[in-house]
Amino acid sequence: MNYWPLLGVAVIVVGFVLRFNPVLVVVTAALSSGLLAGLSVPALLALLGKSFVSSRMLLIFVLTLPAIGLLERAGLREHAQRWMARLQGLTLARLLVGYLLLRQLLAMLGLTGVAGPAQTVRPLLAPMAEAAAEKILPTLDDADRDELRAIAAATDNIGRFFGEDVFIALGAVLLIQAFYAQHGIELSPLAIAIWALPTAIAAFAIQSVRVWLYQRRLQQRAADDRRKAVD
């Protein structure tokens, strides 16, 4: 067994800890791991080039930028915020939990590309979450806004991840089924997918509770502010 290629993993860990540019770290790790495994330089270059262009679909989100940019120039985020501020009864927690549910259900149907950080979070969910939080605590600072946007992105990720595993015709379930089939165990996709449901429900409950706790922290800060204003 050749253990030397593991140094590539060490390059990643050390590079990220020392905060070198991640792009440089990743390419250095790939080169060192490949060379230590005994790949020739031309073969390694070809492998790198071919695998890079084979995953071009990962950059498709940049195509949303012109439309989103144009709409933001025309005031999309400002409008989402003003609209959110007018909606009575739609609290921060209800907005985020509702989005979480929708995202999870869509992912369970295999529709993961419909929403996402570029498609829905930046133009819609994040500004609406900020406006909903401003209804609770008007004095949000920059750190609060960063945290709110991060929570919106986290809600999007969690909804997607713990929904897509329940969908039978895509990705994870088929990978599991294919692995077992290679090793002589025949399973139907449904038998695998059904066991993703308990965790899907737990993930929904956990993220909802955390969003609600965050909202309560904001409410307490707002109450403290009001008390100070009275004193």
Residues 130-149 that bind another protein (CB under 8 A): 142, 146-147, 149
Cα gap 72→57, rounded to integer Å: 25
Please say which residue, 93 or 149, places its beta carbon nearer to another protein: 149
Residue 228 binds to another protein (criterion: CB under 8 A): no
Residue 193 binds to another protein (criterion: CB under 8 A): yes
Residues 61-100 that bind another protein (CB under 8 A): 61-80, 82-83
Residue 49 binds to another protein (criterion: CB under 8 A): yes
Please say which residue, 194 or 223, places its beta carbon nearer to another protein: 194
Please say which residue, 83 or 216, places its beta carbon nearer to another protein: 83
* C-beta pairs of 172-178 under 8 Å, 24+ apart in sequence: 172/196
Sign of CA dihedral 11, 14, 16, 18: negative
With CB under 8 A as the contact rule, the residue among 169, 175, 216, 223 that binds another protein is 175
Q: Could you tell me the CA-to-CA distances from 220 to 26, 67, 146, 178 in Å, in that order?
A: 43, 39, 19, 51
Please say which residue, 199 or 219, places its beta carbon nearer to another protein: 199
Q: Could you tell me the CA-to-CA distances from 72 to 4, 78, 141 in Å, in that order?
A: 50, 8, 22
